[in-house]
Amino acid sequence: MINTRHTRRFFCLGSLTALGACGFTPVYGPDGGGAALQDAVLADAPTTRDAFLLVREIEQRLGRGSPATYGLSYAITVQSEAIAIDLNDVTQRFNLLGEITYALRHLATGAVVASGKVNNFTGYSASGSTVATQAAERDARARLMSILADMLITRLVVAAPLPAT
């Protein structure tokens, strides 16, 4: 009979050794790509509340690029979708579907370092008063921009060029 406890330990240790041998580097480690973006990204100026919320989230996580090495362009799309309708045809719940198309470019050369799309959703209840429903929608939009900012930053950090060693 094979001892599975020892087999698992061997597999885990072997996996860690393989990661070290393949050049695995933690993103936020000394030689990771995350350091290349810290205080080096300047997002386009926001023109809407959603864009303001997105840029605020990005700047809180990556800092404000001053002077910036990279420029971040983005386009935000948010759609509302009724998902719960009662017997009187009154919508009780909405989903906000958000998508951000982005491009990170090196400002000195104009080369695009990373580009793509991220999307996700949040929901809110519309069963309260008008004021409560508006507050719930505003909160859902803020949560959506935070979620999309997290996804966007993850993609940027993974695609970031490694610092020269």
Q: What is the pLDDT of residues 25-61, one digit of tens each?
A: 665 566 666 677 888 999 999 999 999 999 999 999 9
Q: What confidence tens digit (pLDDT) does each residue in 93-147 have?
A: 899 999 999 999 999 999 999 999 999 999 998 888 999 999 999 999 999 999 9
Nearest Cα residue to 82 out of 50, 123, 130: 123
57 CB burial (10 A radius; 0-12, 13-18, 19+): buried
Residues in the chain, overall count: 165
Please provide residue 95's backbone torsions phi and psi, each rounded to the nearest 5 degrees: -110, 140
The amino acid at 9: R
H or E stretch covering 49? helix 49-62
pTM, full prediction: 0.78
